[in-house]
Amino acid sequence: MTPRDGLPGGVPTAHVDTFARDHLPPQALWPVMDYSALPALAYGDQLNAAVALLDGAIARGWGDRVAFRSPTEVVTYQALLERANRLARVLVEDAGVVPGNRVLLRGGNSPMMVALWFAVLKAGGIVVCTMPLLRARELTFTADKAQIHLAISDVKLVDEVAAAMQTRADGTLRAGGRVLTWGGAAPDGTPAIEQLMAAKAPTFENVRTAADDVALIAFTSGTTGEGKGTMHFHRDILAICDTFAAQVLCADDDDVFIGSPPFAFTFGLGGLVLFPMRIGASAVLLEQATPPFLIAAIQQHRATVVFTAPTAYRAMLPLLAEHDVSSLRKCVSAGEALPRATFDAWKAATGITIIDGIGATELLHIFISAREADVRPGSTGKVVPGFQARVVDDAMRDVPVGEVGRLAVRGPTGCRYLANLERQQAYVQDGWNLTGDSYKLDADGYFWYQARTDDMIISAGYNISGPEVEGVLLEHPAVQECGVVGAPDPERGQVVKAYIVLRPGHAADPTTTKLLQDWVKQQLAPYKYPRAVEFVDTLPRTNTGKLQRYRLRDPSA
């Protein structure tokens, strides 16, 4: 590949706004991107993923098929295309979006969110999808990092994003910050987007993006508490459909997909939007997808393929007696390690072998897994066709079979952090993505998860940064010092645990515990609050004052 304006060779970029291109890491620091392993990955140099998936569905004769169901509507592929086209016109004609602009989306899983997602890509924009539970301070960081000037939100969730779009983290006003809403008018009186799109034609001249133009910036938490934007090209969106989904999942056009992950998790984006649309199947979209709602919806809609985390499978086990889930034929687990006990219990209760997998926001989706017939209980699986994986030591040398080392992966997708050179150099070494996971590799090519190699807490499928929670706790006047780590938990895998040194005058009692837990819930997404709090006199530190989190995780150390 030859450089071209900071991108691999091919047709010129369609992006008028070159922010994303300008903030890619130097190409020498990218992982090796291999598109040769599968013929399906040869997409050509010009590609718009929205056109390939949505307009392409109509060209393949799928217009009358149901694309998405929700509690309030059923949308065909043709209706979804027309809605996305009208929305694209609103973006360009009313909101002034030009190719390369980043557009922040905020809402629960719904057909409107899908239509907006595709509308942004059709207009040549870059989608920045956010978790519905995020608070204003978290959204402000995202808006600052990606230089967002337009946000589109469900009106029920607009208050936090409106605050984020008004003021930057440094307190200065965000010039040009604008919010559009659906389901009701915006805070500034701008009509709801449904009203704006009603006057638009159902056709749109799609922007002819390059295959290696950025289409998506997905944010993931890091051990330092600073969110990291991962940039993915139009070709990457199709690549995850043509690797894991095509080679391992092997669903068909009669399948009905369902699941719990929000679209802001690329696990959910793939499993609930991209994978079904690639094959002309349908999906059920739920804004409320906790285990009781999820299992009820599986029964109601006769869903056949479910994507969720191990925690949800465990939580649904006692509910199986009250629900008919006989329609299910494929169950996919990711987001955290799948415990053998959960695998066995689900298999015994339903007869279904859970497809486990490990993915990463940096690589967009799952890269190690196994088809049902090839599953080895307790193992994550084998490398997904199209990818390569190794277990290496600190010098990037392969460790012997059966020994623990660091997981290294490369393939058609890979890590390209947004304006974060330090993290890029740590994550990508010698052309390989180092995921931060410790693994063993057996003689048959199966990968066996051991632990995380960083300070990330994975609780019920959510990635939570301990230092981020520490930062919020330290803002409370009762807290003098604190350390936050993951503590083992049989239901959630891990829970957030805070070790806190109180300031004089504050009691180490349940009242203070609840006060601090509520404080975190007010400042961060509720799933990040410390479910366990222990008050201590001192915290373990090095001679230079650095907190020794490993000693909090393992007091015997």
Asked if pLDDT for residue 437 goes beyond 70, the answer is: yes
Percent helix, strand and coil across the chain, each to the nearest 5: 35, 25, 40
Label each residue of 242-297 as H, E or C.
HHHHHHHHCCCCCCEEEECCCCCCHHHHHHHHHHHHHHCCEEECCCCCCHHHHHHH
Lay out the sheet containing 74-76: strands in order across. Answer: 74-76, 66-69, 282-284, 256-259, 305-308, 330-333, 354-359, 366-369, 382-383
The torsion defined by the Cα of 57, 62, 63 and 68, in degrees rounded to 10, comes to -80
Averaged pLDDT for residues 212-218: 97
Is there a common fold for 48-64+76-209 and 235-452?
Answer: yes
CATH superfamily membership of 456-553? ANL, C-terminal domain (3.30.300.30)
Q: State the Rg of the chain over Cα.
A: 23
pLDDT in tens, 335-374: 888 888 889 999 999 999 999 999 999 999 999 999 999 9
Contact at 8 Å (CB) between 243 and 412? Answer: yes
pLDDT confidence band for 1 (50 / 70 / 90) = very low
Asked if 210 and 7 touch (Cβ cutoff 8 Å), the reply is yes
Amino acid, res. 334: A
User: Residue 522: its pLDDT value, please?
Assistant: 95
> What residue ranges do the domains of the chain occupy?
48-64+76-209, 235-452, 456-553
Quick check: 5 pLDDT over 50? no
Q: What is the mean pLDDT of residues 183-191?
A: 92
pLDDT band with cut points at 50, 70 and 90 for residue 468: confident
- CATH superfamily, domain at 48-64+76-209: ANL, N-terminal domain (3.40.50.12780)
Rounded CA separation 402/406 (Å)? 12
Q: pLDDT band for 21, please (50, 70, 90 cuts).
A: very high
Residue with tokens 């638009």: 200
Average pLDDT over residues 80-105: 98
**How distant is the alpha carbon of residue 44 from its chain centre?**
26
What average pLDDT score do residues 266-271 get? 96
Please give the average per-residue pLDDT across 85-94, as a whole number.
98
The pTM of this model reads: 0.89
Cβ atoms of 454 and 224 closer than 8 Å? no
Q: What is the mean pLDDT of the chain?
A: 93
C-alpha span between 68 and 12 (Å, rounded): 34
Distances (CA, A) of 61 to 56, 58, 404: 9, 5, 50
Cα 523 from Cα 549, distance rounded (Å) = 23
Write the DSSP string, 103-139: EEEE--S-HHHHHHHHHHHHTT-EEEEE-TT--HHHH
Q: Is it the case that residue 3 has pLDDT exceeding 50?
A: no
For 235-452, the fitting CATH number among 3.50.50.60, 3.40.50.12780, 3.40.190.290, 3.40.50.720 is 3.40.50.12780
Inform me whether the pLDDT recorded for 451 exceeds 90: no
Band of residue 545 on the pLDDT scale cut at 50, 70, 90: low
Of the candidates 178, 159, 157, 163, which has an alpha carbon nearest to the alpha carbon of residue 107?
157
Tell me the pLDDT tens digit for each residue of 37-65: 999 999 999 999 999 999 999 999 999 99
Q: Which two tokens stand for residue 76?
A: 């065909």
Nearest alpha carbon to residue 364 among 244, 471, 538: 244
Banded pLDDT at 123 (limits 50, 70, 90): very high
Question: Percent of the chain at pLDDT above 90?
Answer: 84
Which pLDDT value is given to residue 338?
86
Tell me which residue has tokens 């057909």.
111
